[in-house]
Homo-oligomer: A and B are copies of this chain.
């Protein structure tokens, strides 16, 4: 096999010049370019991966198509996990961001197919149902943090129920019985699953579900702040929040009312957001979503599943959402919250 050095020698030019010709640099005299091209022809030198690819029939590329993951501060770890697993397996990751636009999405799938990738990972910025484009049937596909509404596909998602269960259980084990939950809209699988886990844990500990302790709204600090204010009236000893952002709003509300976490009220979040959870005062006990692991799982599955039967492509696999213990949970306060607040107000 001739190398780039052989070409340089035959043409009587430097390695750098050959490289420039190969890469179509515009800054070269035509005479020089012709000399190099003649040497390339004479030696039948095939410099490029693309040419090699046509010979070996393998591209060693996986496509990572996603809606808007780079925009979310947590789901970016899916890319990290997929990237690391790809390097480990000698694969490259062609990352295509669609911004959630359906026509970009179709274009991305076609671009991936055109480039003869060996598999596709389709990931979303939050756990949801997706419609997989028809083009996807041609190749091994793994959905990450989403599942298909239009047929069976291999899919890996967080165990939302297990996460909600773990968060609630850690409060129950400390002795809490009046545990409020600030949830998001149940149309989100994450919200529905986390609520199911909350109810499952309560039921296991023989605690009756009390709908007056449940609030439903958005995912943001403002939602946490408002719901915490109204929840104080019904005297919970702990609040399980559907997201760390909600927990951050809960912290703000409690501070404004002169209440301390965890002495007066315990708080558990969800997401383990790097920017928030370890850095609020006190650091937040929360649930980690296995973003990195999901990305890695998807790549490993694609690499290993070559030749497997179609059946293995039709499951939804869940990965554990583990508890991350920090400093926002303690035993329940002996004095109910609302009473303490009134006493503080009267002093």
Indicate if the CB atoms of B279 and A222 lie closer than 8 Å: yes
Interface string of A130-148 (1 = CB under 8 A from B): 0000000111000000000
Indicate if the CB atoms of A92 and B96 lie closer than 8 Å: yes
The bracket for how many chain A residues form the interface is 35 or more
Is the CB of A255 closer than 8 A to any CB of chain B?
yes
Indicate if the CB atoms of B49 and A279 lie closer than 8 Å: no
Give A256-280 interface residues, CB cut-off 8 Å to B. Answer: 256, 273-276, 279-280
Is the CB of A54 closer than 8 A to any CB of chain B?
yes
Residues on the B chain within 8 Å of A275, using CB: 73, 245, 273, 275-276
Is the CB of A99 closer than 8 A to any CB of chain B?
yes
Give A34-93 interface residues, CB cut-off 8 Å to B. Answer: 48-51, 53-54, 57, 59, 64, 68-73, 76-77, 79-80, 83-84, 87, 92-93
Is the CB of A324 closer than 8 A to any CB of chain B?
no
Indicate if the CB atoms of B73 and A97 lie closer than 8 Å: no
Question: Nearest 9 CB-CB pairs, A to B?
Answer: A73-B73, A95-B95, A70-B76, A49-B114, A221-B279, A70-B79, A83-B97, A26-B307, A19-B138
Q: List 13 A-B contacts (CB under 8 A).
A: A23-B139, A25-B138, A49-B114, A49-B115, A50-B50, A50-B53, A69-B70, A70-B83, A73-B76, A76-B76, A79-B95, A95-B97, A225-B281
